[in-house]
Structure 1
Amino acid sequence: MSPRSPSVNEELRRRSRERLLQATVELVGERGYEATTLGDIADRAGSARGLVSYYFPGKRQLLQSAVHRLMHRTLESALLEEPHTDSGPEVLARAIDAVLGLAADRPLLMRTHMSGVLQADGFVQCPEQQRLAALLRCAVERYGSHQVDVDYPILRALLMGAVFAMVLPGAPMPLPWLRAELFQRYGLAWELGVPPGGEPPGGTPS
């Protein structure tokens, strides 16, 4: 049997890494961070346990990469959803709704992620985070920003603050309230994106 080509090996490594990332969001979402071990993740992914350490320096970094991948894929799907749009406000509305929707659908996972970001190691600069950042920057640019390097970090901070408010134990804020605040800030009509059911806070669209 001839040896595999470099491109085949690279594809196998990519798939192995993807399986680990997917297993991480599944297990942490089901059990929580402390109850999930690296061995559990490797077993769920069908990978050798040594591969986890090969790709990631630790569980916290693995989780951040896994959540950033989930956010990137969710945001990408929202932006590509039919009907296709070139409207800047619609693109930004879809981006906001995609991120807030994750906090609503996966509160344990997103709470654990936010907790990790606040740890001493801070924000992990990984390929998944860079892909997520590129999509958010693109949404800001398509919205019409003339200073993307300023407006993108502001949007990122506002979304992180909204997610934190939604998953705060004991005092979570409702998604419609936070969505209304963000939409008002950017002058977005309530019916853009994927509005939650019912009337917007205040009873009338922005």
Structure 2
Amino acid sequence: MSPRSAAVNEELRRRSCERLLQATVELVGERGYEATTLADIADRAGAARGLVSYYFPGKRQLLQSAVHRLMHRELASFLGREPLTEDGHELLARAIDAVLGLARERPLLMRTHMAHILTAEGFIQCPEQQRLAFLLRDTVARYGSPDPDTDYRLLRALLMGAVVAILLPGAPMPAERLRAELFQRYGLAWELGVPPAAEPAAPGV
């Protein structure tokens, strides 16, 4: 049997890494961070335990990469949904709805992710985060921003704040109201993106 080519080996590594990332979001979303071990993740992914350490220095880094991959995939799905569009306002609306939707649909996972970002160790730069950042920055540019780098960072901060507000234990804010605030700030019509069934009261009412 001839040895595998470098390209085949690279593809196998990529698939192994993706299975680990997917297993992480599944398990943390089901059990929580503390109740999920690296061995659990490797077992769910069908991978050797040592493979986790080969790709990631620890569970915290693995979780951030996994959530950023999930966010990137969700954002790409919303931006590419039918009907396809190049309209910047529609694309920004879809981006906002994608992120708020994750907060509603995966509260335990997203709450854990935000809690880790807000710790002293803070935000971890990784390839998955960079893919997410590129897509979000591109959306801001298509919206018509004259300074996409600055406006991307502002949008990221506003979305993070909205996610925290949705998930705040004991005092959550309705996602619809936060959506209305963000849409008003960016001059987006309520019917753009993927609007919820009912329109909330106008901000400030």
- State the TM-score, normalized to the length of structure 2: 0.97
Task: Kindly state the Cα deviation for residue 119 of structure 1 after the two structures are TM-superposed.
Answer: 1.7
Task: Kindly state the Cα deviation for residue 23 of structure 1 after the two structures are TM-superposed.
Answer: 0.1
State how far apart, in whole Å, the 1-side matches of 2:202 and 2:136 are. Answer: 28
The question of whether the paired residues in 1 share the 8 Å contact of 2:180 and 2:202 is answered with no
The runs of at least 4 consecutive aligned structure 1 residues that moved more than 4 Å come to none
Partner residue, 1:112: 112
Task: Kindly state the Cα deviation for residue 199 of structure 1 after the two structures are TM-superposed.
Answer: 2.1
State how far apart, in whole Å, the 2-side matches of 1:43 and 1:85 are. Answer: 41
Q: Which moved more, 1:27-36 or 1:191-200?
A: 191-200
Q: How many residues align?
A: 203
Amino acid at match of 1:76: A
Task: Kindly state the Cα deviation for residue 149 of structure 1 after the two structures are TM-superposed.
Answer: 1.3
* CA deviations over 1:128-177 (Å, ceiling 9, x no partner): 10000001001100000011111010000000000011111111111001
State how far apart, in whole Å, the 2-side matches of 1:52 and 1:168 are. Answer: 31
Partner residue, 1:123: 123
**SS of the counterpart of 2:21?**
helix
The question of whether the paired residues in 1 share the 8 Å contact of 2:20 and 2:41 is answered with yes
**SS of the counterpart of 2:136?**
helix
Amino acid at match of 2:152: Y
Partner residue, 2:197: 197
Q: Which segments of 5 or more consecutive residues in structure 1 lack a partner in the other structure?
A: none
Is 1:70 the counterpart of 2:70 in the alignment?
A: yes
State how far apart, in whole Å, the 2-side matches of 1:48 and 1:75 are. Answer: 31
Partner residue, 1:82: 82
Q: Which segments of 5 or more consecutive residues in structure 2 lack a partner in the other structure?
A: none
Amino acid at match of 2:77: S
* CA deviations over 1:163-193 (Å, ceiling 9, x no partner): 0111111111110010000000000000000
Across the aligned residues of Structure 1 and Structure 2, the Cα RMSD in angstroms comes to 0.9
State how far apart, in whole Å, the 2-side matches of 1:181 and 1:165 are. Answer: 12
Partner residue, 1:137: 137
State how far apart, in whole Å, the 1-side matches of 2:56 and 2:121 are. Answer: 14
Is 1:17 the counterpart of 2:32 in the alignment?
A: no
Once the two structures are aligned, what percentage of the paired residues are identical? 78
Is 1:159 the counterpart of 2:159 in the alignment?
A: yes
Partner residue, 2:29: 29
State how far apart, in whole Å, the 2-side matches of 1:75 and 1:34 are. Answer: 27
State how far apart, in whole Å, the 2-side matches of 1:48 and 1:73 are. Answer: 25
Task: Kindly state the Cα deviation for residue 120 of structure 1 after the two structures are TM-superposed.
Answer: 2.2
The question of whether the paired residues in 2 share the 8 Å contact of 1:190 and 1:200 is answered with no
The question of whether the paired residues in 1 share the 8 Å contact of 2:89 and 2:188 is answered with yes
State how far apart, in whole Å, the 2-side matches of 1:39 and 1:199 are. Answer: 45
Partner residue, 2:101: 101
State how far apart, in whole Å, the 1-side matches of 2:135 and 2:173 are. Answer: 26
- State the TM-score, normalized to the length of structure 1: 0.97
